[in-house]
Each structure stands twice: as C-alpha cells, then as structure tokens.
Amino acid sequence: MNKMKQSQTLSSTEFDSIVPVDDLCIAVGLVCTSQRRALRHYALPDGRELTVNTARNEWAMKNPDCYGTASQLAQQFGLAENGDFFATMQIIDVLYLKRTGVPSMYPTAALSVPVSGFTRDKNIVTSELDFLMTQLGISLKTLSRYAEEGSVPKAKGRGQERVLALPAGEHGYIGFNGNCYRCIGDGGMTSFGERRKNQICMVYENSLDFLALMEQVQRNGVHPSMARRYHIILNGKRGLGDACEYLKANPDFLEVRCFMPENEFGNKAFAAINDAVKGTAVNRSEMYHGFGSLLGKYLPKVPEAYRKWKASLVAQSTRIEESEKRDVRQEQPEKVIDVTPLLGGEKNTMIDRETGGLKL
C-alpha cells in the first residue's frame, strides 16, 4: 500500500474530472453565504467573495479578476505539489467520509434548557455551526432568515455549547447543536409567516427538513411565493398537539400540506393532522421516497466519479499486494533433500538373485 501511495499521481485533468469545485470549497472550510440556481457564493477569509458555477464546474473571483477549474483553485489555495493533486485528495476524502455518515434524522435530547440559559450571539460573523450547515447544503442567507445563533449550557459537564435556535412555542426555542435537537424552554410547535386570505399551510416534522426545503426554494427563485404561505414545524409530540389545536381553530386555510417522513411518527402525525382538518389534509410523503428526510434528499452527494476513482485505487492496491506476495514466494530457495543415509557409512547396492530387487 505504501508503494502504491509513493508511485500514485493525479494530474490536474484527472482531478477536475473527479472533484466538483463546490466540494473543494467546502473541503477547505469555506462557508456558503447564498445560492441561486447553479451559482453558489462563498465568503473568503480576506473578505472577498468566491462564486462557483456548479453547472460549468468553474469558479470566479473579483479584485483581481480570476477564474478557473477545481485544480486551479486548489493551486490558489496552495494545495497542489508540483502539479500533482494526489495529496489534495486527502481533504476530499475527509469531506466525503463525513458526508456518507450524515444521519437522515437527528435525535432530540431528553434534557431541556430553560429559556434563561439561552444567550444570543449578535455579532458573530461565521462559526463552526455555519460551516456544518454549509456541509448540509444550507446557506447563511437561509439561516439568517429563520434561525439565530447562541449558546446554552452543555447537557453533560460544564461549559457552553453553540446552537442554532428556531422559535418554538410561545417563548421557547428548538436548538440544534450539530448532533441533536435541544428544547429551550417548554418547546412546542414553530411557526413562520403572516396569516393571509386564501393561504396554504405547510406542516413539517422537524426544523432541518424545513430549512432544507427553504434552501431549495431560495435556490430556485420561488421564495416570494413560498413566503406568502404559513409554515408549521412540529418539533415532536408536544408540537403535534399544538399544531392540531391550531389547525382546528383556523379552518380558513385554503389547503394544509403535510411533509412527513414515511415512518411511524410521520404516519401518526399525518393521521392526527388529517383528523384535525376533517380529512382535507394533503399528504406529501412522496417527496421522501427513497430518503429518510428532506435534509437527506437535498444533502450534497458523493460524486460517482469519485466512487469509481476510489474503487480503482482499491483494485490497484489489491493487485500490488498480490504481486508482492508472489515475489516473496518466488524468492524463497527450494529445499534440498539429503538422501544420504543417516546411520552408518557409505552403503553399496547389489541385486538379490533369489528374491529380486535392489538390496543395500
């Protein structure tokens, strides 16, 4: 395996055919500020903005004007060694390993946090949570519209942990720390939007599914129409009860559309909401087909070109190891068998005339 690594190289052309520019930006730790159709915008540490065209797999920057491919951007970041990009793939490996480990659904912590324990951070520019959300495909623009960042006491041990918080209930929040949801206050359902005439109400199971769908809305340029709708996020069993009571008391919605995963809670939630609106709810669970969540559906994927390249490395490594084993076997000297009798001196052979055969 070490011999393979020493002899393996990766040209700029090969690197460009395997790695999307967008994934290179995420792998080096850039945060996506916004996106629109095929364009994704990233904030650079020096204050400039880098724009990626995912359809063309190219990037561009201003002041000074420059543009190029993934390999050229890697050189800009100082990641290529003498035109070889094999070492650059190590940071790409880390990104894709994390991406394959993202759960379709995040759990909710058993311990809640009092509202007084939540401290808002108003002056922070970007953080580790922002970078995590970029990895999940959600931009700062979407986060700033629906969530605020702050800190709460850790569930175990001392100190604080950072959370993205969406309003929940009358005075509480539902927080996300990168590993699980945490109720801040009494919890309950989350709602966004102003009540309007002939309005559509959209109901979601969790906040990350809501944010993932809103990111697609923003990306595809249909946010103005979606902003006129009313949005409800359940955030668990208590929020489900709140949502059912709210929908019962507001029969003037034009339509109630439910975005629920095809699991036990999702089925129960839709049945409860459908009962609350007298059987008029619309089930949009087909959007989850093949995925455990909307977050998982819209999560950036590992490119097929990368999977094939990785498989070719494994096959090459296997061939090298088998060849090394054959070389070791061939280098071993053949055993020499000593046929000299172990006892006595030199023996002579003679033919036995009576019984036949050779005799010592």
Predicted confidence band of residue 170 (pLDDT cuts 50, 70, 90): confident
Average pLDDT over residues 320-326: 70
Predicted confidence (pLDDT) at residue 233 exceeds the cutoff of 50: yes
Nearest-angstrom CA–CA distance, 303 and 331? 43
Candidate from 3-7, 48-52, 106-110, 199-203 with smallest mean pLDDT:
3-7
- The pLDDT tens digits of the residues spanning 42-52 come to 999 999 999 99
Token match 């994390």: residue?
98
Average pLDDT over residues 8-25: 94
State both tokens at 243: 């949502």
State both tokens at 211: 């944010």
Residues, the chain, total? Answer: 360
Predicted confidence band of residue 353 (pLDDT cuts 50, 70, 90): low
Half-sphere exposure in the Cβ direction for 142 (13 Å, CA):
30
Average pLDDT, the chain: 87
**Please, what's the b/e burial string for 249-262 (b: 16 or more CB within 10 A of its CB; e: otherwise)?**
eeeebeebebbbbe
Average pLDDT over residues 308-325: 81
| pLDDT of amino acid 341 | 53
Predicted confidence band of residue 187 (pLDDT cuts 50, 70, 90): confident
Is the separation of the CB atoms in 150 and 167 below 8 Å?
A: no
| pLDDT of amino acid 28 | 95
| pLDDT of amino acid 314 | 86
Nearest-angstrom CA–CA distance, 175 and 108? 10
Among the listed residues 102, 105, 103, the one whose alpha carbon sits nearest the alpha carbon of residue 261? 105
Residue 348 CA, chain-centre distance (Å), reads: 83
| pLDDT of amino acid 308 | 95
Predicted confidence (pLDDT) at residue 258 exceeds the cutoff of 60: yes
Nearest-angstrom CA–CA distance, 351 and 340? 20
| pLDDT of amino acid 157 | 81
SS3 of 133, please? Answer: helix
Q: Where are the beta strands (DSSP E) in the chain?
A: 31-36, 39-43, 49-53, 58-61, 66-68, 119-120, 148-153, 160-168, 172-176, 181-184, 190-192, 200-204, 230-233, 255-259, 282-283, 350-351, 358-359
- The pLDDT tens digits of the residues spanning 82-132 come to 889 998 999 999 999 999 999 988 998 888 899 999 998 866 556 788 999
Predicted confidence (pLDDT) at residue 339 exceeds the cutoff of 60: no
Domain residue spans in the chain? 2-102, 115-298
Predicted confidence (pLDDT) at residue 166 exceeds the cutoff of 90: yes
Q: Where are the beta strands (DSSP E) in 102-233?
A: 119-120, 148-153, 160-168, 172-176, 181-184, 190-192, 200-204, 230-233
**Burial category of 331 from C-beta neighbours within 10 Å (exposed 0-12, middle 13-18, buried 19 and up):** exposed
Work out whether the CA dihedral 259, 263, 269, 275 comes out positive or negative.
positive
Is the separation of the CB atoms in 170 and 242 below 8 Å?
A: no
- The pLDDT tens digits of the residues spanning 262-294 come to 888 899 999 999 999 999 999 999 999 889 899
State both tokens at 172: 């509480």
| pLDDT of amino acid 263 | 87
| pLDDT of amino acid 6 | 47
